[in-house]
Amino acid sequence: MKLKTTLLLSFLLIVLASCSKDKVDSASTEIDNESEEMYFPSITDNKWETTTIDQLNWNDTEIENLYSYLEANETKGFIVLKNGRIVMEKYFNGHNANAKWTWFSAGKSLTATIAGIAQEEGLLNIDDKTSDYLGMNWSSLSTEKENLITIKHHMTMTSGLTDHVGDYTAWVCTLPNCLDYTSDAGTRWAYHQGAFILLQDIISQSTGVGFQNYGKTKLEDVIGMEGNWTKALGLNIYNSNTRTMARFGLLALNKGTWDGNALISENYFNDMISTSQELNKSYGYLWWLNGKQSYMGTTSQEVIASNLIPNAPSDLFAALGANDQKIYVVPSKNLVVVRSGETAGETQLGLSSFDNELWAKLNAVIN
């Protein structure tokens, strides 16, 4: 009887030890996934490391619900990166991995990054007057008012130029007679396409090689982006496959550094994704910011007392474009999420109820 009791106790100790080891192994897996070294895909081939939902301990029962939602809402390409590795990559509605799609205004965030590279190289300074690069009388403003406008005002949508909402031709026009005065620079926030186009002209002037060539050499080729700028709707619009959008998101996740190669300074990057002025707290240098007290839309002067995307992590920042082009970056979770496609119910050029609904679906998988 004593021997049986001893054997039973020994067996129970072995079982408990095994269970304890399983719990430790599981916990270690979670810790390893969170602290996993950042990965950067090759720039010479199409190889890209992956990780799985199971390895990350995410909820795979909600994946089909997420995909069904994306497909029903006219999505073309969708990618989720964790620590640089692909967790989800899915194409819908006739799209595929090689097909290009337009970024629309998500290309503004790419432009702001290119401007940062030019500043890093000493070719421009965003605190300089616009007229230092475009010459006097680039607008219809008086010399006094024109000299108030700096490159930074173009990047923060605070030029004070009349935004011509409802008149698209005037909105994208960069001729002096289209660039008229509404308020002093820095005193009014208004989404202004013409002022943005002029930023690209400033980069062309300062680099001497043209905006597109400079961006390709200094950024796109360095991180393996496969895209091109085309003239459409009066704008320079960037087009690429979905993985190229993810590459740019990964560069942003790493504060402008790609696999140890710093393309821009960390100080510039931090300024770029911080509130750039107090008028629209959810806007940096051509990047949209979550987690702020309020935001303004692209076609209205109304200040809305809310986070940009309440369901999303508060530290999220994003490159957003018309028809719901999305490059979300979430530093706290080492995530990049990309969505390209047709409009999913957009109301204001990149701002949409789709953002909040999509993040509700994502949270069901990730959390």
Q: In this structure, what CATH number is given to the domain that contains residue 227?
A: 3.40.710.10
DSSP E strand boundaries for 45-132? 75-82, 85-91, 101-102
- Judged against a pLDDT cut of 80, whether residue 29 lies above it is answered with no
- Mean pLDDT to the nearest integer, 193-204: 96
Q: Per-residue pLDDT tens for 205-226? A: 999 999 999 999 999 999 999 9
Whether residue 138 lies inside any domain: the answer is yes
User: What own/partner pairs with CB < 8 Å and gap ≥ 24 does 46-50 have?
Assistant: 48/85, 48/86, 48/243, 49/84, 49/85, 49/86, 50/85, 50/86, 50/87
pLDDT at 351: 72
- Judged against a pLDDT cut of 50, whether residue 331 lies above it is answered with yes
pLDDT at 15: 37
pLDDT at 350: 60
- Judged against a pLDDT cut of 70, whether residue 253 lies above it is answered with yes
End-to-end CA distance of the chain: 51
pLDDT at 306: 93
- Judged against a pLDDT cut of 80, whether residue 7 lies above it is answered with no
Whether residue 351 lies inside any domain: the answer is yes
Give the global pTM: 0.90
Q: Which residue has the tokens 């109304």?
A: 302
- Mean pLDDT to the nearest integer, 137-165: 97
pLDDT at 347: 67
- Mean pLDDT to the nearest integer, 68-79: 98
- Judged against a pLDDT cut of 50, whether residue 95 lies above it is answered with yes
Q: Give the pLDDT band (50/70/90) at residue 327.
A: very high
Structural domain total, the chain = 1
Whether residue 32 lies inside any domain: the answer is no
Query: Which pair of tokens denotes residue 68?
Result: 């069904």
- Cα–Cα distance between 115 and 93 in angstroms, integer? 35
Q: Give the pLDDT band (50/70/90) at residue 165.
A: confident
User: What own/partner pairs with CB < 8 Å and gap ≥ 24 does 64-67 have?
Assistant: 65/361, 65/364, 66/361, 66/362, 66/364, 66/365, 67/92
- Mean pLDDT to the nearest integer, 305-329: 96
Q: Give the pLDDT band (50/70/90) at residue 345.
A: confident
Least confident of 17-21, 111-115, 131-135, 297-301: 17-21
- Judged against a pLDDT cut of 80, whether residue 144 lies above it is answered with yes
- Judged against a pLDDT cut of 80, whether residue 26 lies above it is answered with no
Domain that holds residue 325: 60-366
Whether residue 34 lies inside any domain: the answer is no
Whether residue 198 lies inside any domain: the answer is yes
- Judged against a pLDDT cut of 90, whether residue 25 lies above it is answered with no
pLDDT at 17: 41
Average pLDDT over the chain reads 90
Whether residue 7 lies inside any domain: the answer is no
Q: Give the pLDDT band (50/70/90) at residue 18.
A: very low
pLDDT at 20: 38
User: Does 27 or 171 have the greater pLDDT score?
Assistant: 171
Least confident of 3-12, 30-39, 300-309: 3-12
- Mean pLDDT to the nearest integer, 163-183: 93
Whether residue 262 lies inside any domain: the answer is yes
Which ranges of 149-255 does DSSP label H, i.e. alpha helix? 151-156, 168-171, 193-207, 211-215, 221-223, 242-253
- Mean pLDDT to the nearest integer, 253-266: 97
The percentage of residues in the chain with a pLDDT greater than 90, rounded to a whole number, is: 84
- Judged against a pLDDT cut of 90, whether residue 28 lies above it is answered with no
pLDDT at 8: 40
Whether residue 257 lies inside any domain: the answer is yes
User: Does 338 or 168 have the greater pLDDT score?
Assistant: 338
- Cα–Cα distance between 366 and 62 in angstroms, integer? 9
Q: Per-residue pLDDT tens for 32-73? A: 445 579 999 999 998 999 999 999 999 999 999 999 999 999
pLDDT at 37: 94
Q: Give the pLDDT band (50/70/90) at residue 353.
A: confident
